[in-house]
Amino acid sequence: MAAVMFLVREVLLCVALFWFVRWIGRRVAGGGRRPPPGPRGFPVVGALPLLGRAPHVSLARMAERYGPVMGLRLGSSDVVVASSPEAARVFLKTLDAAFADRPVDAAPIRLAYEGQDMVFAPYGPKWKLLRKLCNLHMLGAGALNAWGPYRREEVGRMLQGMLSASGEGKPVAVAATLIYTIANMIGQVILSRRVFEEQGSESNEFKDMVVELMTLAGQFNIGDFIPAVAWLDLQGLEGEMRRVHKRFDKVLERMVEEHEATRKERRGRSDLLDIFMERQSALPAAAAEEEKLTPDNIKALLLNLFTAGTDTSTGTIEWAMAEMLLNPTILRRAQAEMDVVVGRNRRLEESDIPNLPYLRAICKESFRKHPSTPLNLPRLSTQACEVGGYYIPPNTKLLVNIWAIGRSPKVWASPLEFDPDRFMPGGPGAKVDPTGNDFELIPFGAGRRICAGVRMGVVLVQYMLGSLIHAFDWELPEGAKLDMAETFGIALQKTAPVLAVVKPRLALNVYEG
């Protein structure tokens, strides 16, 4: 017994000595400068237990006490959290270059082919190439305009399917319908074909895979912050990531193989996957490595485009529909605006959107209250810097709490209300834009690591949400209640999906065109 007590005492002494030496080392490295204020946390694990199941909410509450630039120790990692527009501007604009990298955590390793994608790749030549290719051929303004006909075609199919469900008295599952539609849009651009011919078990399985991947990728994994115990996989997250990755890898391998088999049929009309594959095989042997794409680069890019491209836009639209089901006057006002501008004898077109300020205001309000990425994807500092008089050491992880900025009463009046009028002409947010220049509203992030699909996201949300509002009247099934609970992940999921009964409000021949 005495020997056991002696051993316990020695272990505790070693732990205490370790943390004391670490604290002294940090003070010396910082030249005695002040670190950002924040919760003390616990030995070894730091503030990890304080995050709970909704880290975006927990961190927002902590920021109310410690301020908009807050420091935390999560395991062995230094973390700084920005929770105001001013703090976000400093980190994502003034210090953008210093925070351009991503941490090498389990999610990019297990899910994104060891960070070979556009989202998690280290900042450098290969990342710039991936971004350039996607912007040039799919996500940039010119490319986005070029595949407008695919958007129109797939939205038309969506409306026809919803009309059929209405005639059969079936409720519409909003998220499943949207993911099916957007996946087919993206498939037409990347693969020259639709991914799913019918909405059903295959598309629903894909939706579940997307949601699971986005949820897993956003979790705070203990092994990322305490590397010594990573091998234990205490939360089981890495095992789940491997399982989901294998499922996606099979799907992506099949896509690439089928696409390669039909290459001759597409002569003279290359799609995005053709362009990716040319970078793998057609470049001269002397080309620099950063100019070539590996098979993992290609699959990782497909993973980015099919998951982030479908899930984030779907979430924003679903949240907006949920808010309007709770506030039918907003829905009716949007429909009245569309009846004046569009009428009921044709479909809403993307060219109508500049003439629909209330629709655009609804989209911005959904971006504000329900940002697709509540905590901007983490960045990593490559050098020491100072913010607001606080010392930020190198290798510090940066989190920008976009959710907290959107819910802050210091930024927005009555922030918990869903009020599109705040973004209407004459309102306080009339000139605020969600594409990364106005830090009160940065649903896609900002700076050089802003979401590459920001233009696509805005277009899809405006056009698809507008089409849903214009084409149908919406109500909950009889006796149903709307659950507005959130599930945390990279994307902020609605825990209970929206099921709604729709009734056509346009001339029936409109749904056929």
Q: What is the pLDDT of residues 64-100, one digit of tens each?
A: 999 999 999 999 999 999 999 999 999 999 999 999 9
| Domain-embedded: residue 6 | no
Residues 475-481 have a mean pLDDT of 92
**pLDDT at position 220:** 92
pLDDT tens column, 149-205: 999 999 999 999 999 999 998 999 999 999 999 999 999 999 999 998 888 778 888
Task: Give the pLDDT score at 308.
Answer: 87
B/e letters for 152-190, b = 16+ CB within 10 Å, e = fewer, are bebbbebbebbbebbeeeebbbbbbbbbbbbbbbbbbbb
Q: Look up residue 254 and give its two tokens.
A: 């099949």
**Which amino acid type is present at position 398?**
L
pLDDT at position 4 = 40
Report if residue 219 sits inside a domain: yes
∠ CA(59), CA(63), CA(65), 5° rounding? 125
Residue 5, domain member (yes or no): no
pLDDT of res. 19:
47
Does 11 score more than 80 pLDDT? no
* Count of C-beta atoms within a 10 Å radius of residue 265: 8
Q: Which residues pair with 398 in a beta bridge?
A: 80, 379
pLDDT > 70? residue 31: no
Using an 8 Å Cβ cutoff, are 361 and 420 in contact? yes
- Strand, coil or helix: what is 9? helix
> Residue 24: inside a domain, yes or no?
no
Classify residue 399 by its DSSP letter.
Answer: E
Q: Check residue 133 and give its pLDDT.
A: 92
Say how many CA atoms lie within 13 Å of 372 toward its Cβ: 27
Highest mean pLDDT among 111-115, 254-258, 409-413: 409-413
Cα–Cα distance measured from residue 380 to residue 80, given in angstroms and rounded to the nearest whole number: 10
Cβ neighbours, 10 Å, residue 229: 14
**Is 25 within the bounds of a domain?**
no
pLDDT at 489: 87
H or E segment at 361? helix 357-369
The rounded distance, in Å, linking the Cα atoms of 276 and 255 is 13
Q: Which domain holds residue 170?
A: 33-512
C-alpha dist (Å) from residue 250 to 113, 205, 237, 299: 13, 13, 20, 10
d(C-alpha 407, C-alpha 417), whole Å: 9
CA 187 to chain centre: 19
* Spatial separation of the C-alpha atoms in residues 72 and 398, rounded to whole Å: 10
Residue 301, in any domain of the structure? yes
The answer for residues whose C-beta is within 8 angstroms of residue 384's C-beta and 6 or more apart is 30, 391, 392, 393, 394
For tokens 């080309």, the residue is 287
CATH of residue 463's domain is: 1.10.630.10
pLDDT at 1 exceeding the cut of 90: no
CA pair distance 423, 441, nearest whole angstrom = 11
Mean pLDDT in residue range 136-160:
95
Which residues on neighbouring strands pair with residue 346, listed in sequence order? none
DSSP of 56-95, one letter per residue? HHHHHHHHHHH-SEEEEEETTEEEEEE-SHHHHHIIIIIT
Tens digit of pLDDT for each residue in 407-424?
Answer: 999 999 999 999 999 999
How far is it, in rounded angstroms, from Cα 154 to Cα 350? 13
| pLDDT tier at 23, thresholds 50, 70, 90 | very low
Helix locations, 121-271, DSSP H = 125-134, 141-146, 148-167, 174-191, 201-218, 222-225, 237-261
Alpha-carbon span 81 to 90, nearest angstrom: 12
Confidence (pLDDT) at 9: 54
**Which residue has better confidence, 87 or 512?**
87
Confidence of residue 7 (pLDDT cuts 50, 70, 90): very low
In-domain check, residue 19: no
Looking at residue 207, what is its pLDDT? 87
Encoded tokens for 105: 């955590």
Q: What is the mean pLDDT of residues 360-372?
A: 97
Q: How far apart are CA 429 and CA 420, in angstroms?
A: 9
Euclidean distance between CA atoms 513 and 505, whole angstroms? 15
Give the pLDDT of residue 5: 47
What's the whole-number mean pLDDT along residues 334-361? 98
Q: How many other CB atoms sit within 10 Å of the CB of residue 192? A: 17
Q: Is the dihedral of CA 409, 413, 416, 420 positive or negative?
A: negative
Averaged pLDDT for residues 112-139:
92
Q: Is residue 12 part of a domain?
A: no
Q: For residue 113, how far is the Cα from the chain centroid?
A: 18
What's the distance, CA 322 to chain centroid?
19
In the predicted model, what is the mean pLDDT of the chain? Answer: 90
pLDDT at position 482 is 94
Q: How many domains is the chain partitioned into structurally?
A: 1
Quote the pLDDT of residue 263: 84
Q: How far, CA to CA in Å, does 362 sit from each of 321, 370, 420, 448, 462? A: 10, 12, 5, 27, 9
Query: What average pLDDT does the segment 200-220 reach?
Result: 87
Residue 226 DSSP class: -
